[in-house]
Structure 1
Amino acid sequence: MANAINIKRSQVASLMDQLRQNAAAEQKLSEKDEHEILEKLKVFGRTVSGSDAIYSSDGISLLSDVAFRGNTPEPSREALRCLANAMFLDRQTSQYFTDRGYVEKASEAYKVSESHDDEFLLGRILFFVTTYSQTNGLIIKCVNEHDLAKNTQAAISRHAVAYANAASTSRIISQMAGMALQETLKLLYTLTAKLEDLKAELFSPLVPDLLKILISISVPTASSLQPPIHHILDALSNIPLDTDSSKAALFPEDDPTKYLTRIVKVLDGAAQISSGPSSRSAQTDEFDDRGASLLKLLHDIYPIAPEPAQEFLRLSLLPTDTERNLPLGSRTSTTLPARLLRLSSSPSTTNTRTILSTLLFVVSDSDPGKFIQNVGYGHASGYLMMRGIPIPPEALEEAGVSDKQGRRINPVTGQFIEDEIKAMEASGIGGLDEMTEEEKEREAEKLFVLFERLNKTGVINVENPVRTAMQEGRFEEIHSDNEEDDEDEEGGGGGGGGNNSAEGKGKGKAKETTAKQA
């Protein structure tokens, strides 16, 4: 193994020497021969081991000289491929590239690139350089002196025209064009992240073009967060949308939900979850990996949207009354709101469940009472407690009416109480009317103990409803059938010691409290 690496190291060094000698001799090699050397170096450079001559500072400088020479397009493009591979495998090479002053040359080349191959390679190199840059000074210099932001805008505008034309004529965008767009979008996202104070001014004009591309791409019914869709959403989520131009683009006067319909369709395809006992699935993992930007985008859109667009989002993301025949988020429901609720509480969605709950809270107009009514206390309580948002006492009352028929809902599950009772009866579980007073008493005691334990853990700090009911006089004394006889025996027997016996204690415990029926 070591011998093979040494052989490879020698071959790579020899090829690099040929390039170096050729550069010093003003290109004695033919363009074809130079291209073949660079192709071999590209293959060798796919692994770092034994490719020392490529991954050194001098090696990166030599490849960069060839890449930006300008008069030999094929060797220059192959040198760009070598550089892109090197930066992908070893980020130190991007620092060598920066230190030798090649970022400015890459930005200038990106400006005039007309082929998708060049845009792909230059966009990829600039993405690595800007992502790994330790300071923003270099990026600001490229933006101010080499028009990097404007060049990125121009590239995306070209793609917007091409995608719109392809959609109208049913043409297929070439694979290379799609790959070039992806690298440009990744570069755009990095620029918006690094240029926080300037991104509204520099990148808001791109919103119409990004939306135009998004609506021109067919959305898969499942796993919809595929490139370039998720790259477009990443970019949109990082551009301020509250400018007049952005809002005008997002909400066309003739159809304010035009683009929201497409974004929600992407969410519908992305928000997949296993219907089995486990919530873990490949689709759930993909949603958790790529869905945060999509959720953040909707979170940012709702507050600035006109009422028709807000109403559309409420109807799309929140459960409707037709879903309340079951507990909200039931595993048997396949609607988008039900899947979102399950994802918001899934142990698999560590990256997205908080932003997903935040989105549902915002779409509930950031009103905790509406939030609980919309999704049920069971789904809302954890988020509200984590955020330190007080829970309105009235939100837990069963008197909440959700439709014109006046049907009551269970505030914890969000299910209609009448449907809940029917389900209990169908499963053989009796309701309060079928419970004896002793059974009611035991359930009340269990509830009391559970709330006391939860309060002691510090997880929640709420008033025990059983204690409250006792204080409000909603409990009554329950006497056993033999209680009067027991009292007569104790009073007439004259032997007070009966109260100290185990039997006496058991009889005395018969005098307890239980909840009145509502």
Structure 2
Amino acid sequence: MSNTTNVKRAAVASLMDQLRADVTEQKLTPQEELAILEKLKVYGRTVTGSDAIYSSEGIVFLAEVAFRPNNPDSSREALRCLANALYLDRQMVQYFIDAGYVEKTSEAYKSENVDDEFLLGRILFFSTTFAKDDHLINKWANEHHLVENNIAAISRHAIAYTTAASTASSLAVPMMQTMALQDTLKLLYTLTTKLSDVSTMLGPTIPHLLTLLSALPIQSPPLQAPTHHILDALSNIPPTTTDSQTAFFPPSNPTLHVSKILKIFDKSAVIPSSSSTTSRSGTSTSNNTTADDFDTHAASLLKLLIEIYPLSPAPVKTLLHETLLPSEKERSSPLGSTNSATLPARLLRLASSPTTTNTRLILQTLLFVISDEDPVKFVKNVGYGHASGYLMMRGIPIPSEALEEIGAAESGDGGSGRNKRINPITGQYLDDELRDIEASGLKGLEDMTDEEKEREAEKLFVLFERLNRTGVINVENPVRTAMQEGRFEEIKSDNEDSDDDGDNEAGKGKGKAKA
């Protein structure tokens, strides 16, 4: 063991002994006590050599100092020492719980001082997150005002941020208040995962969370803290009560909060850029950071929309349809085409992207839910190509009518598309699909000569044989099958005699598909 560690261990032990001696002798001035605690805080940022802190006796003693009255500065410095210790070593959390100090922390959490809220909220977050017994958390909530004080803190932040948003500068909230809010929200999220009756106990936080979300400016990236903390909490509190649903959908403006959520969604749904570059240090220098942010944090946003859609009034459902599902205008190209930068197109690409490992399935579920969980509507809305994998994975039968050409009579496009037909696979108008084929120089079978059909059949034959050899697929070559079933007939050259016996080399192996 290094000499440096031994020196540090001795220094930490000496400082703790000085504090203990002062409990009985009271020789230290408040300033001297504060200075000792500040040194302990610095030492305690690493576990090695801080044995006098990282022990049952050390945690209990620091907690006694933290909750001693009449010296707030020393109390907060002791709380900082505790917060560091609980963060760095989970065993310290158990010592803190066993000594009964979570109850005192829960009671003290009613403080309206943001410095106190930040420290107490952080300690409570570690205590609830790493507690081995959820019954204790319910006890802290029911008997020691943990939930009550958490809701009060969120309410204060909602007022502060709303006031700041109404001023010229939306950044008028002090940094410490933002930090306190983040730890209070993280504590709330832990409570949503561990309390026995989340809807009843935490339902009253919903109006305050929605007020906060409305007051916060959309950041860049949009899903950073505290926004994603708010969405995390909202997604875990079922809005089953009348008050909760009224908060989500205010009678005077039902789409108020959902509109803000959709704006955040729009800004965050970024497609990973294939042209992004990476620095030598490995740090992305393009917008992949934002794309990664979506896959990391968007699950809660998606889950929230899935939860509230069935409860939504008609104006909100209409807004969700218009915002998240492809419009009729987008059917001039295959749905989800890279030519389109609309939110629905980006969502379809994200829903099939191999990079969205965390959000791909839940995003597909959202599109299915806002299609009223009807497979025919789902295929109509996003195209069979985007819908089939999800439906098969869920074991949902695909009705035959879902694969028929879909008319646009129900599209609500004012009649402009009433006679148009839609390719059920791609979701594109058939007329526009034919236009694209013609513009690309490709021909349909009816426009090909016999020789062109033969060449295309030969190309397909070779491609399938190559794929089978690589192991990528293992299916019967459809061209070979067609030949075996007699669906090819011989093509005779113009210079062949009509009574040719078929042995002419020019005619060997040539064939065309039968109609």
Same-fold call, TM cutoff 0.5: yes
Aligned mates of 2:424, 2:97 — CA distance in 1: 59
Judged with a 3 Å threshold, the aligned counterparts in structure 2 of structure 1 residues 102 and 438 are, in CA distance, closer, same or farther, namely farther
Amino acid corresponding to residue 193 of structure 2 in structure 1: A
- Contact 1:284–1:348, Cα closer than 8 Å, also in 2: no
Q: How does 1:40-189 map to 2 (within 5 A)?
A: 40-111=39-110, 113-170=111-168, 172-189=172-189
Aligned mates of 2:92, 2:67 — CA distance in 1: 17
**Deviation at 1:382?**
1.8
Residue 204 of structure 1 corresponds to: 203
Q: Which runs of 5+ in 2 are unaligned?
A: 277-285
- Contact 1:167–1:217, Cα closer than 8 Å, also in 2: yes
Amino acid corresponding to residue 434 of structure 2 in structure 1: I
**Counterpart check, 1:324 vs 2:331:** yes
Q: How does 1:492-507 map to 2 (within 5 A)?
A: none
Q: Which runs of 5+ in 1 are unaligned?
A: 491-497
Corresponding residue SS for 1:54: coil
Residue 408 of structure 1 corresponds to: 421
Greater helix percent: which structure?
1
Residue 245 of structure 2 corresponds to: 247
Aligned mates of 2:428, 2:81 — CA distance in 1: 60
Judged with a 3 Å threshold, the aligned counterparts in structure 2 of structure 1 residues 181 and 399 are, in CA distance, closer, same or farther, namely closer
**Counterpart check, 1:419 vs 2:432:** yes
Residue 283 of structure 1 corresponds to: 290
Aligned mates of 1:122, 1:296 — CA distance in 2: 30
Judged with a 3 Å threshold, the aligned counterparts in structure 2 of structure 1 residues 294 and 280 are, in CA distance, closer, same or farther, namely same
**Deviation at 1:6?**
1.8
Which of 431, 448, 455 is the matching residue for 2:444? 431
Aligned mates of 2:473, 2:134 — CA distance in 1: 42
Corresponding residue SS for 2:380: helix
Aligned mates of 1:109, 1:303 — CA distance in 2: 40
Taking structure 2 as the reference length, the TM-score comes to: 0.86
**Deviation at 1:378?**
2.1
Amino acid corresponding to residue 167 of structure 1 in structure 2: A
**Deviation at 1:440?**
4.6
> After alignment, is 357-366 or 398-407 more displaced?
398-407
**Deviation at 1:459?**
10
- Contact 1:385–1:460, Cα closer than 8 Å, also in 2: no
Aligned mates of 1:398, 1:465 — CA distance in 2: 24
Aligned mates of 1:332, 1:42 — CA distance in 2: 56
> After alignment, is 151-160 or 161-170 more displaced?
161-170
Between the aligned residues of both structures, percent identity stands at 58
Taking structure 1 as the reference length, the TM-score comes to: 0.86
- Contact 2:371–2:381, Cα closer than 8 Å, also in 1: yes
Aligned mates of 1:232, 1:511 — CA distance in 2: 66
Aligned mates of 1:7, 1:47 — CA distance in 2: 14
Which of 232, 237, 241 is the matching residue for 2:235? 237
- Output one character per residue of 1:371-396: Cα deviation in whole Å (capped at 9) or x when no partner: 12212222222212211112222322
**Deviation at 1:117?**
0.4
**Deviation at 1:37?**
0.7
**Counterpart check, 1:364 vs 2:371:** yes
- Output one character per residue of 1:147-175: Cα deviation in whole Å (capped at 9) or x when no partner: 11111111111222222222223451111
Corresponding residue SS for 1:294: helix
Q: CA RMSD in A?
A: 3.4
- State the number of aligned residues: 493
Residue 480 of structure 1 corresponds to: 491
> After alignment, is 312-321 or 46-55 more displaced?
46-55
- Contact 2:231–2:300, Cα closer than 8 Å, also in 1: yes
- Contact 1:256–1:308, Cα closer than 8 Å, also in 2: yes
**Deviation at 1:86?**
1.3
- Output one character per residue of 1:444-498: Cα deviation in whole Å (capped at 9) or x when no partner: 7959x97xx99xx99999xx9999x99xxxx987563469x899555xxxxxxx8
